[in-house]
Structure 1
């Protein structure tokens, strides 16, 4: 039994499941529809595929070693998260306040809390992909993590490919599961008051994460 592979599975699972920008984007899209949530989840996995491919090819090391290039990615990533966060906050502010009739209909499992806007599949896929692909900390994470689980007596490339595939596979299981769970709880989560609170929470999270990236860049 490969102990290192088992250990990596636990570390990778925790890394993928940790709430962050990816999680917030998937939840926000899933509040619109199941299709939008799953599309965003697949987009996140696609972003992870980019990061793992860069790490395997050694290009992530170039990104980390060139401050100007790394800073550009950080600027784009922070700006994009701020954009998504502001859109979510605006959408939350525009959601109609829950009336007594809407609350009653929501409790009856009706369609009182239909989302204020619908995102297309392509837009949701793009949001998930860019939110992950423009995360400047991902290359650093993969560069520092993957080599620790490559035994010295084994070829590095096949092992690294295996580890990268495991990460992407976990993302393809976890994030669609999150989207489906949000959709499953739709009658509750799409009630006007709950949906508004969730939209505002995810928007605030994305805004904070984007702001942190930009502040770190300014202080670098």
Structure 2
């Protein structure tokens, strides 16, 4: 058995499942529909694919070595999280006037037309950008992956394997979260519960975005 590979699996699983901006965005979009939640989850995995590919190629080292570039990514990430957070808070306010409990019906709308496709694309984009604009991810992968390459073993095949494992774990975990939220839709889509969740997710995203921007200012 490859002890380092087993250890990395545990570390990667903890890293992927740790609640944060990715988890929050997936839950928030899954409240809209199962399709939106799963699309967001796939987008998050796509963002992880970018980070792991950069780490494997060594390009993440450039991002870390150039403070201005790192700050630019951090600024974009903070602004985007604030944008998503403001959207969730606005949705919570708009739902305040809702009185009917009709949201307990089917999770996905029956329409498969252009509007549905645009909604899916938007959710996919939100998941991707939320993860891809996380400035801490390149640093994490750049420092993490080399630790699990055995001495004397070629680095590229091993890091490719480790990167693939991270993306695979994300493709399991985040869609599972979206499906669980959809499964609990009868409860979570009640107007009062939905408003509360929108408010919580909006607050979390806004807070995370604010922290990134403060770090840019203080850097």
1:56 equivalent to 2:21? Answer no
CA distance in 2, matches of 1:14, 1:212: 22
What's the counterpart of residue 32 of structure 1?
32
CA distance in 1, matches of 2:62, 2:9: 27
1:102-117 matched pairs, under 5 angstroms: 102-103=100-101, 109-110=104-105
- Offset at residue 96 of structure 1 (A): 3.4
Residues 77-109 of structure 1 show CA distances to partners (whole Å, capped at 9, x for unaligned) of 00000000000000101103454xx35x67xx5
CA distance in 1, matches of 2:212, 2:77: 8
Residues 97 and 192 in structure 1, CA contact (< 8 A), matched pair in contact too: no
What's the counterpart of residue 86 of structure 1?
86
- Offset at residue 153 of structure 1 (A): 1.8
Residues 149-196 of structure 1 show CA distances to partners (whole Å, capped at 9, x for unaligned) of 111121100000000000000000000000000001111000001000
Residues 40 and 125 in structure 1, CA contact (< 8 A), matched pair in contact too: yes
How many corresponding residue pairs? 210
Residues 26 and 128 in structure 1, CA contact (< 8 A), matched pair in contact too: yes
The farther-off stretch of 89-98 and 188-197 is 89-98
* Runs of 4+ with deviation above 6 angstroms: none
1:1-220 matched pairs, under 5 angstroms: 1-97=1-97, 99=99, 102-103=100-101, 109-110=104-105, 120-220=119-219
Gaps of 5+ in 1: none
CA distance in 1, matches of 2:25, 2:163: 22
Residues 109-144 of structure 1 show CA distances to partners (whole Å, capped at 9, x for unaligned) of 557xx9xxx870000000000000000000000011
Gaps of 5+ in 2: 110-115
**Matched residue SS, 2:31:** helix
**Matched residue SS, 2:134:** coil
Give the superposed CA RMSD: 1.5
CA distance in 1, matches of 2:105, 2:22: 29
CA distance in 2, matches of 1:55, 1:72: 18
Instruction: Give the structure-2-normalised TM-score.
Output: 0.92
